[in-house]
Amino acid sequence: MEPKLIDHLFRYHSGKMVSVLTRIFGLSNLEIIEDAVQDTFIKASISWRSKQPDNPEAWLTQAAKNRVLDIFRKLKAEQKHLPNINQGTDAIAINDLFLDSEIEDAQLRMIFTACHPKLDSRDQIAFALKTVSGFSIKEISSALLTKEDTIKKRLSRARKAIQKSKLKFKIPQGKSLPQRLENVMEVLYLIFNEGFHSNKKEILIRKELCGEAIRLSQLLLKNTLTRTPDVYALCALMYFHASRLESKTNTENELLDLKNQDRSKWYFPLIKLGNVMMNKAVETDEFSCYHYEAAIAAEHLRAARFEDTNWDKILHWYQCLNALQPMPSNLLTMAVVCLQNKNYNMAKHYLDQLQPEDFESRSYLYFGALSDYYNATNSPDQALNYLDLALNSVNNSLEKEFLLKKKTSLLARLKH
């Protein structure tokens, strides 16, 4: 079997296996379970070179179960606390846990564990990507633009927090569920955004992160306890954004803004799915930030051409979003929308409320917007000055090229 196929299997099945085995053996044995699953895949990659099993997933699951028990025995774990998974009622009960619906239940439990408020917010994403999604430390480090050692520390800190707080491997119920579900949605939203708009120097779009965030959101919708209008709105937002992934760069791998994207490349089956999700999402009197963000994304998709975009409607949704969740990024986008509307006074009103520090590593977006404002109001020298500041602070090479093209165009204008 090709190494790529083994990697694919590991990504998609290790999270399932870690979750189910954790349900059987408990969170206190999580590290042993993760090591066992890792060992199983190493073993598979060697033994499958000559002959691939008929059912690779079943083979991996059984091998992981056996490996966990081997390790427990070697560690002289107390046998009375371990189920006898080879015979009797324990075997039946445990085999039931490997039914599709039970695997989904176990993964949901793991998502809620990974996003527990007792874990540091910085550790939650790394821990979710490792335990639920099967990403390697190297992949997580690459996705989050963080050193591998830092990721290892975050994972270790998360495991210690789980042990110290004696967290239960369960889906919360009752009054604690809404806040915990909010935590989960926030982590999934951040995972999706890291994929949709990566800060990584050479790779703008990391489809696997987007796909994983969507998959985990769908898991939330399959469970009656976590199937809420907000989750539907989050799913709609992800589908709407994902439909544009193929159009974000051209054949030369150059970044394209919405104005220059080839709209024929937008993937309409995903837009249709987003609309289905959105119809479910609005069956409520209270709208979340995900509702407003999805409404904004839908408005962009509704326009057959960039010139047909209803900027007034988009500004309205942004104002609703900012009233609910005031953020510098909302004000900046509202300024950009006002520039499209040629409402320059209002654009400046929003820009004056911002500082480059509000955007940390993405301060280039702030400088870029100021450059656009001065360009639109016939102050090309100031526009050039802010464009240079944007170029000095941008990290992503595709976005740097995009800004350089703008600079070339601006310099040409200054010459005339």
With 90 as the cut, is the pLDDT of residue 164 above it?
yes
Q: Could you tell me if residue 1 is inside a domain?
A: yes
273-284 per-position pLDDT tens digit: 999 999 999 999
Residue 19's domain comprises 1-98
Whether residue 146 is predicted with pLDDT greater than 90 in this model: the reply is no
User: Which of the residue ranges 5-9, 59-63, 268-272, 359-363 would you say has the lowest mean pLDDT?
Assistant: 5-9
Q: At what angle do helices 207-222 and 176-196 cross, to 10 degrees?
A: 160
Over residues 271-295, the mean pLDDT reads 97
Is residue 46, in this structure, part of any structural domain at all? yes
Question: Mean pLDDT, to the nearest integer, of 326-332?
Answer: 95
**365 located within any domain:** no
Q: Does the structure show a pLDDT above 80 at 285? A: yes
User: Of residues 16 and 351, which shows the higher confidence score?
Assistant: 351
User: The CATH number of the domain where 90 resides is what?
Assistant: 1.10.1740
Higher pLDDT: 130 or 69? It is 130
In a domain, 288, yes or no: no
Is the residue at 343 inside a domain? no
User: Tell me, what's the pLDDT at 76?
Assistant: 55
Residue (of 25, 32, 23, 21) closest to 75 by Cα position? 32
Q: How confident is the model at residue 81 (pLDDT cuts 50, 70, 90)?
A: low
∠ at Cα 157 (151, 159), nearest 5°?
105
Number of domains in the chain: 1
pLDDT the model gives residue 186: 93
Angle at 357 between CA 205 and CA 333, to 5 degrees: 55
- pLDDT score recorded for residue 77: 53
| CB atoms inside a 10 Å sphere around CB 326 | 9
Can you name the residues that pair with 255 across neighbouring β-strands? 249
Query: pLDDT of 175-193, one tens digit each?
Result: 999 999 999 999 999 889 8
Q: Establish if 397 belongs to a structural domain.
A: no
Q: Is the pTM of this model over 0.75?
A: yes
pLDDT surpasses 70 at 57 = yes
DSSP for 170-217? S---TTHHHHHHHHHHHHHHHHHHHHHT---SS-S--HHHHHHHHHHH
176-196 vs 100-114: helix axis angle to the nearest 10? 90
The predicted model gives 116-138 an average pLDDT of: 90
Which amino acid is residue 234, in one-letter code? L
Q: Considering the domain boundaries, does residue 204 fall inside one?
A: no
Residue 321 lies in a domain: no
Say what percent of the chain tops pLDDT 70.
Answer: 91
